[in-house]
Structure 1
């Protein structure tokens, strides 16, 4: 026997009601938080913390942000040619133990711990790397003997009290590539992330310490400015190629200064009048990287308010939305300036919520990242309270089909039963998908009293669980008839499988294709006829489905 559901009319009606009720909350949206480890800005909470305290605090940090809607953390794993994980190349970061080169006590691997805890919550972990910064302040920072500034002083470029690895030296590129290779090869990170620091901000006049390098490596009559840009371009292209060779499923993102170029200097520039630009002063031609497909997402640091006179938030974001060339755009927001900055706009507590809603509603913007974790943690300007409303339903990550557009297989052998603990759902890992991927997460959807969940409605996401978990207990009830569930698989790039209706006692799984706007065909064998009518009747008892019967 085959049973057909005509869902088209029902779905159209429900979709309209859902849009009204949800206020257009998206199912897919990047919601990130930057977690700075330099000088223990965000984590560890103190450089004097023990390893156990560090672990407890990071768990608290994750729980806090997830409860306010975050689905990703961007954690600084290499801030000044030192790292927060055991490395064969670079020393331990000062923030881990209070002394550069010294491991945490008692010993553990902070990065491995962080990644596992992040994935346990269904969140993404982006590893934030500063590629060229070596010493933040040579007057105060004491570097260890095996730091690159001491082992290769000829690679170091001095600028005031800042020391950076000279991007004009080819061996420097190879060195940083080796650091990145070690990182992406040994850890299950979801993305590699660079910030805005390439060449230093020209706060103290023109850079002079790389002129001899320029004369040695320039091509023809190449100006020193063009040469610097070429250095960064070739470096970023090299990172892209390294990822393609070693870990092609890895995302690569960059968070540049908010202005690429002003329209006064370039016809393609933004309607801004910024004193600094990424292209002219940091030598980072981010637009060129996007055109060439070297990065997968861009998260410009749009740290000015909507009232700023020369770099207002909204038109600057609009420019970026028109210059992503098919890649993702996440707006970078300055939570740390709310209620602190002298800039007039930041005195308004509605400024940050307004920016987040503006980013969500702007075509071409795929999400937001907040700087920084501590400012949100401290509820600066009431932002933590606002996030509970703005991010009141869960969200999956936006897809990146240019990396991977193949959906995983649905969970196998999904069963449901009532117990004293609640309603138990169990499943098994499916076979590999056509591209060889297993699911990385499973998503459980739920709605009330026999109504089929709509997996396009984020409010019906009950739980996202990692792929080492094959059981979920809904403790809200112990009665099977109170809720209806669907479960899907997600792969590394958040492609989603078809949904599966759990197998109730004595009858088969029902796999529901997406979208639900066409007839859903359910094959049931005769021995399960009676049981099938029980569940089918529950699914249609609201009389919003139409049903026809066809007997073999």
Structure 2
């Protein structure tokens, strides 16, 4: 995901008087579309609102003071032109591994539960693919073996920290430059020059060529079949963003394959629809539990163009990239939609407070989960000037959820910007919303496993915290993928596992039936009650174990 095209226009409106508005009052107005486009948020005292009931996936409406037990918390790790990882070409295998571990440690530090890692940025691969060459962003030379299997390493390290790994692919982009002779001779775009064309200084596979589509399917699905991935992830790049004064060079392809379509635009949308629908089907044929999600540009269409669209005035993905993202959700082709709503609350042409409810309404009509893409990089660049902007975004998402149209989580672009924490923006998110770990929401329709409650055998104070030991006594085929540990103050008869403040840790199952964890957050000598639950690979949860006191 390179930076998306900004919506057209500038914000010149005058802010209304916000005297006397507390934070929740502001957000209520913003959600209703009343807030002015340049309104400055004044954070004051905030009375907690009554919690809304949990939806079918366990995501409840909360105030900003209440953590959510289930929400996706992800960050993108971009590899194209070495944005995040690898930080540069020419690193040794050990240096590549150390950098990736660093980004996982950042994810853990900010209590995230997933990473979206770019593994096929330009028709190349971060694994030994029989279809495409090694990525140049690993070594600096396309086709050069980095000396290990990065994707195998990523899977192992990510799962060791009990994070989900969504492999991120760019379907059509071939190269960030336009000269095919600079690709290795065995590259499919050189072997089949009729599959690709140049546009805007880059090379792309032609989305209208059935043979090119089949190649892309094979290249992506090879990794799905050979690695333990949690998700397949695309960003906003389908047909390239328009370049002024240039026409897409697909007239010959349209002449060959466009019969029956009234316009070339309808045909292009059909090409992308076909690709999205078909790869969705093929992923599930290989591994039904692997999630398929797309992170499109944040505006489908403006209401001024289409009454079904959002109250916005920016670039439209339906028309610019020929990406009918609304249809993909309503047709059920995706497990999740992750629109890049990379604008602030109140921005006239693309108001976060209008786009989030619009997407939530669309997603609520299907079983598609909604994760909102957040422009953390705009804090670093200075576009977002209010250090509370991103925390306010999550408040608003929670309010939209409380209205019955769930937002199931957020994803942060991109990894480099989390530890920079410019203006303390991510520290505010951590303090306001991520005070506890969170379980990934369960997506309806994914195949689950009937995991059994663990047997918690030990909870004793030790020199480094409370030492916990439990047994997963289920048969191998129904053993847990991971576990959730809950703790309540004092000695009790039970622990409410739906209370997110009781969740202290999640941990990946490690070989065998006996599992251990040290709760290093426990106060020495304090009285606690613990329970443990089992989680399958798609985060279905067992009943809790019997309690154990420490």
What is the TM-score with the length of structure 1 in the denominator? 0.82
Question: Would you say 1:46 and 2:88 are equivalent positions?
Answer: yes
1:294 paired residue number: 333
Q: CA deviation at 1:221?
A: 4.5
2:537 paired residue number: 492
Going from structure 1 to structure 2, the CA distance change for 1:351 and 1:218 (only over 3 Å counts) comes to same
Q: 2:474 aligns with which of 424, 427, 431?
A: 431
Question: Would you say 1:109 and 2:149 are equivalent positions?
Answer: yes
Going from structure 1 to structure 2, the CA distance change for 1:388 and 1:227 (only over 3 Å counts) comes to same
Distance 2:358 2:120 in 1: 30
1:304 paired residue number: 343
Q: 1:359 aligns with which of 397, 417, 420?
A: 397
Please say if residues 157 and 165 of structure 1, whose CA atoms lie closer than 8 Å, have aligned partners that are also in contact.
Answer: yes
Alignment of structure 1 residues 471-510 onto 2, 5 Å: 471-474=516-519, 482-501=527-546
Please say if residues 418 and 479 of structure 1, whose CA atoms lie closer than 8 Å, have aligned partners that are also in contact.
Answer: no
Alignment of structure 1 residues 56-75 onto 2, 5 Å: 56-75=98-117
Please say if residues 459 and 530 of structure 2, whose CA atoms lie closer than 8 Å, have aligned partners that are also in contact.
Answer: no
Please say if residues 360 and 367 of structure 1, whose CA atoms lie closer than 8 Å, have aligned partners that are also in contact.
Answer: no
Please list every run of 5 or more consecutive structure 1 residues that lacks an aligned counterpart in the other structure: 1-11, 505-534, 539-552
Q: CA deviation at 1:379?
A: 1.5
Give CA-to-partner distance per residue, 1:485-527, whole Å, 9 cap, x none. Answer: 101111111110000026x7xxxxxxxxxxxxxxxxxxxxxxx
Q: 2:172 aligns with which of 121, 129, 132?
A: 132
Question: Would you say 1:193 and 2:233 are equivalent positions?
Answer: yes
Going from structure 1 to structure 2, the CA distance change for 1:221 and 1:127 (only over 3 Å counts) comes to closer
Please say if residues 28 and 397 of structure 1, whose CA atoms lie closer than 8 Å, have aligned partners that are also in contact.
Answer: yes
Q: 2:381 aligns with which of 315, 340, 343?
A: 340
1:396 paired residue number: 439
2:139 paired residue number: 97
Q: 1:444 aligns with which of 476, 481, 485?
A: 485
Please say if residues 155 and 165 of structure 2, whose CA atoms lie closer than 8 Å, have aligned partners that are also in contact.
Answer: yes
Distance 2:259 2:337 in 1: 29
Give CA-to-partner distance per residue, 1:232-280, whole Å, 9 cap, x none. Answer: 1111110111012111111100000111011112121111111x21111
Give CA-to-partner distance per residue, 1:343-369, whole Å, 9 cap, x none. Answer: 5xx222222221232223322211111
Distance 1:63 1:97 in 2: 23
Alignment of structure 1 residues 96-245 onto 2, 5 Å: 96-104=138-146, 107-138=147-178, 142-205=182-245, 207-245=247-285
Please say if residues 200 and 246 of structure 2, whose CA atoms lie closer than 8 Å, have aligned partners that are also in contact.
Answer: no
Going from structure 1 to structure 2, the CA distance change for 1:89 and 1:462 (only over 3 Å counts) comes to same
Going from structure 1 to structure 2, the CA distance change for 1:466 and 1:20 (only over 3 Å counts) comes to closer
| Structure ID, larger Rg | 1
> How many pairs were matched up?
482
Distance 1:471 1:348 in 2: 43
Going from structure 1 to structure 2, the CA distance change for 1:478 and 1:368 (only over 3 Å counts) comes to closer
Give CA-to-partner distance per residue, 1:377-406, whole Å, 9 cap, x none. Answer: 222332232232131111111111222366
2:353 paired residue number: 314
Please say if residues 63 and 395 of structure 2, whose CA atoms lie closer than 8 Å, have aligned partners that are also in contact.
Answer: no
Q: CA deviation at 1:337?
A: 1.3
Task: Give the stretch that moved more between structures: 448-457 or 94-103.
Answer: 448-457
Going from structure 1 to structure 2, the CA distance change for 1:479 and 1:337 (only over 3 Å counts) comes to closer
What is the TM-score with the length of structure 2 in the denominator? 0.82
Give CA-to-partner distance per residue, 1:16-48, whole Å, 9 cap, x none. Answer: xx9999823210011111110111101112212
Give CA-to-partner distance per residue, 1:205-252, whole Å, 9 cap, x none. Answer: 453311110110113243111110001111111011101211111110
Please say if residues 448 and 536 of structure 2, whose CA atoms lie closer than 8 Å, have aligned partners that are also in contact.
Answer: no
Task: Give the stretch that moved more between structures: 156-165 or 422-431.
Answer: 422-431
